[in-house]
Structure 1
Amino acid sequence: MSPTRSVVIVGGGTAGWLTAGLIAANHKGHLSVTLVESPNVKSIGVGEGTWPTIRNTLKKIGISEADFLKACDGTFKQASKFVNWTTGDDHYYHPFMLPKAYDQINLAPYWQAQPNGLSFADTVSYQPAACAQDLAPKTMTVPEYAAITNYAYHLDAGKFAPFLQKHCVENLGVRHVLADVTRIENDGDGYIARLQTDVGEAIAGDLFIDCTGFLSLLIGKHYGAAFTSCADQLFIDTALAIQVPYEREDAPIASVTKSTAQRAGWIWDIGLTHRRGLGHVFSSRFTTDDEALADLKAYIGPSGAHLTFDEVRKIPIRSGHRQTPWVKNCVAVGLSSGFVEPLEASSIVMAELSAQMIADQMPVNRAAMAVVAKRFNTTLNYRWARIIDFLKLHYVLSQREEPFWVANRDPSTMPESLKDLLSLWKYHFPWHDDLDHRDEIFPTASFQYVYYGMGGRTDPGAFPKTPDWPKAVGHFQEVARARQAVTGQLPTNRNLLSKISQYGLQKV
């Protein structure tokens, strides 16, 4: 019944320092937070796309948005743009803004029943138009973290973790220990009591958080928590990552994470202030490393013609997650908990949400810990299942005929929950009640953007459920007016970021 007084985080990187920051900010003066980080382990450092939740996370930690953008070469992200995913000659957007009047009316039936030549996303939101022009999500007069259009960030992952570290240590009182863990010691009840390190220090704690990435030193190696693979559903298992310069200093900075489909995977393209981050993620079952590199070179163009394996980072991907990410007084956050693939920035958002849940529901003592752990494990398993559903949706709707894409359409590779949704959406327009919770990572709107963006159709038969034509048409007209007004008002990404670098932003 002794109170929880100390939290020990093992592992740094984005997951470790976000977790340290959220817990320290939530419990400043009540909990000690120690982060033990190996000086010999390099973080993966290619998670450069985020989800809009990151704005609230940084704000909670007490970070200045302008300082963050400048320190991490950050840029604004308003959507994901998918190129060639459906037929090989197409594109669509998954914007971060919800459809117009999302809480009042489902606009999908009206869009489909009255074709206007615009995509679903363009009909219900003006954000794709802003993205097409590489515009920023706000102007200089909008304060930090506030927005005209909903947004997240692209960032230099190699600079983000050190930036978080400095803030956590200097402003939140997090103790930073550079050491390798050499032994993990349990107490008589099987709970972790302390860590022995190679610098001779024994570090005791009440709650231990495993942020050691794919190594999974605590939750995997020490506790042997079961890992559930989803490789039979999501086939991506390898990434080739590289950084490339802009062709000129004033080149436009994209407002989207661009994802371009390839014969056996896809290429991400993320624009920072001074460079682009590219990565070809693919399935080794359907292509070779040499073929994947050739596809990446072709995507880069003439400047990538002589690219070799020495110039790219090859990263193996093990798709899946822990069934019990919280065991005893040990909980996994980040890659040690699970990873599927980098599509839709799901990795960082899962680390954010996990860390926030721990901070919010911090067990006051060991007696409460089992209940909190059970709730955490249930929540995480549900979230992983929904992420897998959402990511798989991008593949099953493709009409591409390469073996990789054909295999993805095999019903035996689809989760039953996704098959149920696809069966439902043939006759019922996707809406709130289709998912179990209103606070989903990816709400029904996200499913709508992908489903209709990739050519999905709904046939309501004799029950079209379109009684509010005047209201729907009014919303469509409002979107059209806002599209013209807002895109005429917003600066470009590069223009706004240049001004922020010079003058900063207004504090909230």
Structure 2
Amino acid sequence: MNTVIVVGGGSAGWLAACRIAAQAKRTGSGVTVKLVESDRIPTVGVGEGTWPTMRNTLAKIGISETDFIRSCDASLKQGARFVGWTDGLPGDAYYHPLNPPAGASEIDLAPHWLGRSDGSGASFADCVDYQAALCDAGLAPKTITAPEYAGHANYAYHLDAGKFATMLRDHATASLGVEHVIGDVTRVNQSDNGDILDVELHDGRRIAGDLFVDCTGFAALLIGGVYGVPFKSCRDVLFADRAIAMQVPYDREDDPIACHTISTAQDAGWIWDIGLWTRRGVGHVYSSAHTSDDAAEAALRRYVGPAADALSVRTINIDGGYRERFWQNNCVAVGLSAGFIEPLEASALMLIETSMDAIADRLPRTRAAMDMVARQFNETFRHHWLRIVEFLKLHYVITHRTDTDFWRDNAAAASMPDGLQERLDLWRHHSPAPQDFSHAREVFSWPSYQYVLHGMRFASHYPPVGAAASEATMATGLIARNDRLRADLIARAPRHRDLLRSVREYGLQRV
């Protein structure tokens, strides 16, 4: 295993190239990386939300957080606020913060929260954590004196996807030794055992390698075009099949920048609202079976307001689903070629990162070892996709909304994934816990389920807390400590825009 060929650019391709090349550089494995991309095919370029995993990824590939924030118009993300998902009435909103509940490794605070006046006081997120309050106040999760990739709260990023791909490309070629090959793939040549030998370009060049990473987006040139790996649709579970997006400038240079994704429910879908340094990215995800394209665009323009009159929209078709296999022979699909679903909870870039961790950290050194690595990879990522689809559906299926066909159809049992109903039956009487899941490393772990379930007022009837005095004391202490942290951080944390301005002017402490 000497040469890895990444076919396709964009965020997926350049993240893949950077991750493998950085790992090879660190370990001295001698593996070389080449990236082949067309200069005629545009990237999708609207994946603006990340997970906290991106901090580790950027550090692993050797990119400074300061440089990243400056180059990608990035802002800091502390979670998501869901507006109108529960009943659609005024005041309907809850947070899914990135911090886990206080003391999550020691105690489950959910029953204790429910036991406080039956949960009628503070929201679950406010009771067990302080991050929702920071988001409400527009405060950053770190200060300018904090080292790069460290903060007083867990955080991810919002970013400009086009600028992100450009930064990764420049870093890969200038610092990590990745060879950039520009050309259109017109033919893929295979050996007798079905492995890819090389990709042939329009000018006759042949780029040979030992492992091929398919980052060709929706075209799925290798995993679909060469190997014909079937695509498993999830449109029967997640109905959204369209998105329209626009870039909205701020009214004033000093306008607040939201430090969370805002997801606002609509009659037939939802609208995302993401704040970057120079603009907002706003888009409407919807089901064409429940509304027309014109009505969806009108809803987006109403949400944005008068500023939308001068703005154009971009339309994206969402063929929700994923491949039945992701690694076939010596080809592995990463990014949109592996699968795509609506961007609720921003899992797209996380899946690229997780895929590349699995590939780069366990890159098979011989062809004989590749088949076992491929089987493990396929099993792991089939499970990840199943759980992601289930978690996204959770947001829809427990709604109390019955005002439109879209919400009524989403709550129908016929559209619920296998196993979710069983888990919901359990969670009416037992708080979500690690034992409820078959894998130790879930992409969405039990705290995420708790934030959504309790945020949407899922009818929980946990047994009365009859714990030992020591557990009750621990719960009371953790909730009180959370109250103190909230008050302290609200008093001293900087405004989000102010922190970003300081990073751009002075930079963070290098690690």
TM-score normalised by L of structure 2:
0.97
Distance 1:306 1:502 in 2: 32
Identity %: 51
- For the 8 Å contact 1:24–1:33, the answer to whether it is kept is yes
**Counterpart in the other structure of 2:422:** 420
Q: CA deviation at 1:306?
A: 6.3
SS in 2 for 1:249: coil
Aligned length in residues? 501
Aligned-residue offset at 1:301: 1.2
The one-letter code matched in structure 2 to 1:470 is T
Residue of structure 2 equivalent to 1:460: 462
- Is 1:6 the equivalent of 2:9? no
Equivalent AA in structure 1 for residue 85 of structure 2: W
Question: In the alignment, does 2:179 pair up with 1:165?
Answer: no
Which residue number corresponds to residue 175 of structure 1? 179
Displacement after TM superposition at 1:117 (Å): 1.3
Secondary structure of the residue aligned to 2:508 is: coil
Alignment of 1:87-486 (within 5 A): 87-89=87-89, 90-115=92-117, 117-305=121-309, 311-401=312-402, 402-461=404-463, 464=465, 466-467=467-468, 468-486=471-489
Q: Give the whole-Å Cα distance in 2 for the aligned partners of 1:319 and 1:252.
A: 34
Q: CA RMSD in A?
A: 1.1
Aligned to 1:501: 504
Name the SS for the 2:258 alignment partner.
coil
Secondary structure class of the residue paired with 1:344: coil
- Render the CA deviation track for 1:180-213: whole Å, top value 9, x for unaligned: 1010000111100011001321100000000000
- 1:133-191 per-residue CA deviation (whole Å, 9 max, x = no partner) reads 11111001110001110000000111000100000100000000111101000011110
What letter corresponds to residue 6 of structure 1 in structure 2? Answer: T
1:140 maps to a residue whose letter is: I
TM superposition shift of 1:464 = 4.4
CA distance in 2, matches of 1:349, 1:320: 16
Deviations 1:31-81 (A, max 9, x none): 010000111110010000101100000000000000000000000000111
Distance 1:406 1:440, change over 3 A: same
2 CA distance for matches of 1:378 and 1:10?
23
The question of whether the paired residues in 1 share the 8 Å contact of 2:112 and 2:465 is answered with no
Report the AA paired with residue 350 of structure 2.
V
User: Structure 1 residue 22 and structure 2 residue 16: aligned?
Assistant: no
Whether contact under 8 Å (1:237, 1:282) holds in the other structure is yes
In structure 2, C-alpha distance between the alignment counterparts of 1:421 and 1:60, rounded to whole Å: 36
Contact kept, 8 Å, 2:396 with 2:407, in 1: the verdict is yes
The one-letter amino acid paired with 1:483 is R
Deviation at 1:507, TM superposition (A): 1.1
**Secondary structure, in 3 states, of the residue corresponding to 2:431?**
coil
User: Whole-Å Cα distance in 1 between the matches of residues 320 and 465 of structure 2?
Assistant: 40
Q: 3-state SS of the aligned residue for 2:262?
A: strand
Report the CA distance between 1:431 and its aligned residue. Answer: 1.3
* Partner SS, residue 429 of structure 1: coil
| Mean CA deviation greater in 288-297 or 411-420 | 411-420
Contact 1:109 1:466 in 2 (8 A): no
Shift of 1:418: 1.1
Post-superposition, which runs of at least 4 consecutive aligned residues in structure 1 deviate over 3 A? 463-467
Determine the C-alpha separation between the residues in 1 that align with 2:334 and 2:310.
39
Give yes or no for contact 1:110–1:466 (8 Å, CA) kept in 2. no
1:372 positional shift: 0.3
Distance 1:246 1:72 in 2: 17
CA–CA distance in 2 between the matches of 1:284 and 1:109? 40
Q: Relative to structure 2, which stretch is displaced further, 110-119 or 400-409?
A: 110-119
Pairwise CA distance, 1:487 = 1.6
Contact 1:109 1:465 (8 Å CA) reproduced: no
Instruction: Tell me how far 1:226 sits from its aligned partner.
Output: 1.1
CA distance in structure 2 between the aligned counterparts of 1:218 and 1:289, rounded to whole angstroms: 32
SS of the equivalent of 1:221 reads coil
Give the aligned residue type for 1:437. Answer: H
Determine helix, strand or coil for the equivalent of 2:225. Answer: helix
Deviations 1:452-473 (A, max 9, x none): 0000132134x64544222111
Give the whole-Å Cα distance in 2 for the aligned partners of 1:104 and 1:457.
25
Hey, what's the Cα distance between the residues in 1 that align with 2:325 and 2:430? 35
SS at match of 2:510: coil
Structure 1 position 291, deviation (Å): 0.6
The AA in structure 2 aligned to 1:417 is G
Structure 1 unaligned blocks of 5 or more: none
Aligned pair 1:492/2:495, yes or no? Answer: yes
* Distance in 2 separating the partners of 1:226 and 1:365: 27
Deviation at 1:490, TM superposition (A): 0.8
Alpha-carbon separation, structure 1, partners of 2:498 and 2:86:
33
Measure, in 1, the Cα distance between the counterparts of 2:122 and 2:224. Answer: 49
Q: Secondary structure at the match of 2:281?
A: strand
**8 A contact 2:248–2:307 mirrored in 1:** no
CA distance in 1, matches of 2:42, 2:200: 21
Query: Counterpart of 1:191 in structure 2: which amino acid?
Result: D
**Matched residues in 2 for 1:369 and 1:438: separation?**
24
Cα displacement string for residues 304-323 of structure 1 (whole angstroms, at most 9, x for unaligned residues): 2466xxx1101000100001
2:465, 2:234 → 1: CA distance? 37
Distance in 2 (CA, whole Å) between partners of 1:340 and 1:201 is 35
Post-superposition CA distance 1:329-359 (Å, at most 9, x none): 0000000001111011111100110011000
User: Would the aligned equivalents of 1:111 and 1:123 in 2 still touch at CA under 8 Å?
Assistant: yes
CA pair 374-302 structure 1, distance change in 2 beyond 3 A:
same
